[in-house]
Amino acid sequence: MLVRRRPGRTSIPFSTGRPREISAWCGWGRRAAERRRHRDLLMAQLHLAMLKAHNAFADEARGRGASEQAVFDTAAREMRWHYQWAILNEFLPSLVGRPLVDEVIADGPRWFRPDGDAFIPLEFADAAYRYGHCQIRQKYQLNRETDPVPLFPDLLGFRPVPRARTVDWTLLFDTPGSDAAQRAKKIDGRLAPPLIHLPVAITGETEIDEYHSLAVRDLQRG
């Protein structure tokens, strides 16, 4: 599969799985075409926004006279830098506080010091980082023409995005000149109801009712 910005302009071949293609996704470690990444309309549209941003960087590189061989690497690097900037300057300070972020930047990590190439530990990726599931809201307002709707089943993915479900990103991310965006739930030990009753399209057919609960699935995987 190729993502095309316009006829004759090809960017991000993301179905062959080569490492340099994954790099455009800022270290997420999975190909954009993976089906699970489109299980809800929020993530599907976020991926589309990332694709468009990458292709815009590719066009800028071409406009500066970069060779076709260098266009992808340049766009991938720009995409990673923007993503990392957002993590370092917005996500982490809002999660753990600016003082701790500044301390880690100044003094380096205390516990995680990988030898050689850095990697995401399994204990973090498949266990600790699942805390974020408790921050998922029960309902989201996607745009200013519609009311808030539950994540599931209303925003179930694996389908074209209906016009009424088009995301206005100023409602999900703070932007200059706009009101404060919707906030995630505070970190606690509870999941929103749509995550306790996941649709069959996500879980698959199962005779065990508990397998429709993300809490159970988290405990199994973590």
- Structure confidence by residue, pLDDT tens digits, 69-116: 899 999 999 999 999 999 999 999 999 999 999 999 999 888 888 888
Whether 130 is covered by a domain: the verdict is: yes
pTM of the model: 0.77
- Is 106 contained in some domain? no
The parent domain of residue 50 ranges over 1-92
Hunting for tokens 């088009």 — which residue is that?
A: 166
**Domains held by the chain: number:** 2
Q: Which residues are 11's β-sheet partners?
A: 3
The answer to whether position 116 is within a domain reads no
**Burial 127-136, CB ≥16 within 10 A → b, else e:** eeebeebbeb
Residues 138-195 pLDDT 10s? 999 999 999 999 999 999 999 999 999 999 999 999 999 999 999 999 999 999 999 9
> What pLDDT, on the 0 to 100 scale, is given for residue 15?
31
Say if residue 37 is in the same domain as residue 129: no
Determine, yes or no, domain membership for 76.
yes
Please check whether residues 129 and 189 belong to one and the same domain.
Answer: yes
Cα 109 to the center of its chain, rounded Å: 24
Say yes or no: 88 and 125 in one domain: no
> Is 174 a domain residue?
yes
- Considering the domain architecture, whether residues 87 and 125 belong to the same structural domain is answered as no
> Could you tell me if residue 111 is inside a domain?
no
Inside any domain, residue 115: no
Above pLDDT 70, what percent of the chain?
A: 83
Angstrom distances, CA of residue 111 to CA of 48, 104, 108, 114: 35, 11, 9, 9
